[in-house]
Amino acid sequence: MTAPSSLPARFLIPTPAGPVEIVAITRRRPSARSRSVVLKDASFEPLAMSPRYRAFVSAEGPLGLPGSGGDDAEFILQLGRDIDGGDSWNFAVLLAHLAERDQDGLAAALGRGPRPVVVATGSLAFDPRRPLAGQVFRAERYALAEKMTSALSSITDAGAAPVIVLLPANAEPSDLAAAEGILAGLEAPGLRVHRCATVGDGIAALRGTALVRPATEKTVLLPGGPPPQAAPRRSVRRMAIAGVVVVSLAAAAAWYGAPPADDPTATAAATSPPADAPAVAAPDGDPTPRVADTEPAAEPQVAPAPTTTAATPATASGLLVEALLAPGGGTCFNVIAGEISAAVVAPPLGEAGSGTIAALPAGTCGLRLGAPAGTVLDIAPRVREMMMTAAPPATETTAYAAYGRAGVELGGRTLRFTPRGAAIGVDWD
């Protein structure tokens, strides 16, 4: 048996009864008498979830897939306490194992600064035909609002250390919105929230911890909400529970580029936002370029045209397309992690039929799109499903910005911009 691992981050499994910390992972050689097991910290008695964990780390489970760095080892997983039921522990435990073995450079990425806190929940819809990064989550009710409320103390106690919250993107929209609304009101300078459609999204989020807002930057609040005052934990918890009731889907969905309500005119990008500031609703008549967000769908579809009739019909004039590339010798990971500045290339715009097209150059890591004043960019679901929630630094003309997901090749693809009344549809050609 080897010594218990020193994990590069604190991994927390949120539950309605409070977060459960992954205390240690101990690797040991297989033998006829040993088997993988889950123990309570400082105890030798197996916890009830041991059989499910044993299957999880077996050669037939997620940690046996290509890309997991798995081997024939067995493990002792030590938790702060037992987990009563369900499989939403899958995501946090998987990421802790990948960090323990420094798969995909996770340990190195997480160890670049203060020890981060990772709060992750999600039950894997395991498919042995998919690579590890392509594994998706079950569509189920995760009680995210209750879980985030119970984790508030752990998040606020982190101080200036990075806190990375990873939520399953296919959870119930109202549940996601309520959870994100609770988190948006916290004074946590290092907080970053990601919706993850795949395991690869979570890996990319952890590898990009340098994108966390610096401690000197103002915490982003829900639109219309006053700055939270320093208060005892009990007050913070009461405020969060109230937020579960009163937070609206449109307001909460503004957090870090999360999809808002169905009306694509409901949100707007700020004229000069910080790198990872969420879009917020603009007042009527505000000419700021706006971006319409729609919930990712299984099948490509075009979002409905906005119902606003007062705006002037949009044209291709005023469109801005910027491809963000890694400069010579660098990689997209270096760019996303903030280790190097991206090279910005503006691909030429060409007319094609009733729309405008732009071919993205090879090596494109991310996009920045600008729109004519007073118009909306209606981003198609099949474009969004290839993009991360992590956003590149914005400029005064930015209406939409995102990096490509891990394993997605943006270079060589062509974007098509199609005028639709007061909106401009954005889709792959």
Residue 204 lies in a domain: yes
Residues 33 and 173 in one domain: yes
Tell me the two tokens of residue 390: 């992590």
Residues 6+ apart with CB under 8 A from 245: none
Q: What pLDDT was estimated at residue 256?
A: 31
Residues 300 and 382 in one domain: yes
Confidence at 277, pLDDT banded by 50, 70, 90: very low
pLDDT of residue 405 exceeding 60: yes
Q: Rounded to two decimals, what is the model's pTM?
A: 0.53
Reported as type and span, the H/E element at residue 381 is helix 381-384
Residues 43 and 154 in one domain: yes
pLDDT of residue 91 exceeding 70: yes
Pick the most confident of 40-49, 266-275, 410-419: 410-419
Residues 321 and 187 in one domain: no
pLDDT of residue 240 exceeding 60: no
Q: What pLDDT was estimated at residue 308?
A: 26
Residues 59 and 197 in one domain: yes
Residues 75 and 187 in one domain: yes
Please give the mean pLDDT across all residues of the chain. Answer: 73
Q: What is the pLDDT of residues 20-59, one digit of tens each?
A: 999 999 988 776 667 889 998 878 888 888 988 988 988 8
CATH number of the domain at 125, please: 3.30.230
Q: List 367's β-bridge partners, or say none.
A: 323, 402
Quote the percentage of the chain above a pLDDT of 70. Answer: 69
Residues 175 and 286 in one domain: no
393 class by beta-carbon count within 10 Å (0-12 exposed, 13-18 middle, 19+ buried): middle
pLDDT of residue 164 exceeding 50: yes
Q: What pLDDT was estimated at residue 390?
A: 57
CA 17, chain centre distance (Å): 24
Q: What is the mean pLDDT of residues 50-72?
A: 78
Residues 278 and 389 in one domain: yes
Determine contact, residues 372/342, Cβ cutoff 8 Å: no
Task: Go through the chain and tell me how many residues it has.
Answer: 429
Residues 291 and 369 in one domain: yes
Q: What pLDDT was estimated at residue 21?
A: 95
Reported as type and span, the H/E element at residue 55 is helix 50-56
pLDDT of residue 365 exceeding 80: yes
The last residue of a domain, from among 182, 211, 240: 211
Q: What pLDDT was estimated at residue 226?
A: 34
Q: How many structural domains is the chain composed of? A: 2
Lowest mean pLDDT, pick from 123-127, 128-132, 191-195, 213-217: 213-217
Query: b/e map of 38-61 (b: 16 or more CB within 10 Å)?
Result: bbeeeeeebbebbebbbebbeeeb
Residues 187 and 308 in one domain: no
The closest alpha carbon to 217, from 167, 157, 269, 162, belongs to 162
**Calpha distance 316→424 (Å, rounded):** 8
Residue 269 lies in a domain: yes
Range of the domain at 95: 10-211
The last residue of a domain, from among 148, 182, 211: 211
Q: Are strands 117-120 and 163-168 parallel, antiparallel or unpaired?
A: parallel
237 class by beta-carbon count within 10 Å (0-12 exposed, 13-18 middle, 19+ buried): middle
At residue 63, what are phi and psi to the nearest 5 degrees?
-80, 0
Tell me the two tokens of residue 208: 């990009």
Task: Please tell me what DSSP assigns to residue 255.
Answer: G
Q: What is the pLDDT of residues 287-345, one digit of tens each?
A: 444 444 444 434 333 333 323 223 333 344 688 999 999 998 788 877 876 778 889 99
Residue 240 lies in a domain: no
309 class by beta-carbon count within 10 Å (0-12 exposed, 13-18 middle, 19+ buried): exposed
Residues 120 and 36 in one domain: yes
Quickly tell me which residue has 């005119």 as its tokens. Answer: 265
Residue 254 lies in a domain: no
Lowest mean pLDDT, pick from 31-40, 187-196, 244-253: 244-253
Residues 186 and 318 in one domain: no
The last residue of a domain, from among 172, 196, 211: 211
Q: Three-state SS for 162?
A: coil
Q: What pLDDT was estimated at residue 6?
A: 74
**Which residue type occupies 372?**
P
User: How many secondary structure helices (H) and strands (E) does the chain include?
Assistant: 11, 17
Residue 216 lies in a domain: no
Residue 17 lies in a domain: yes
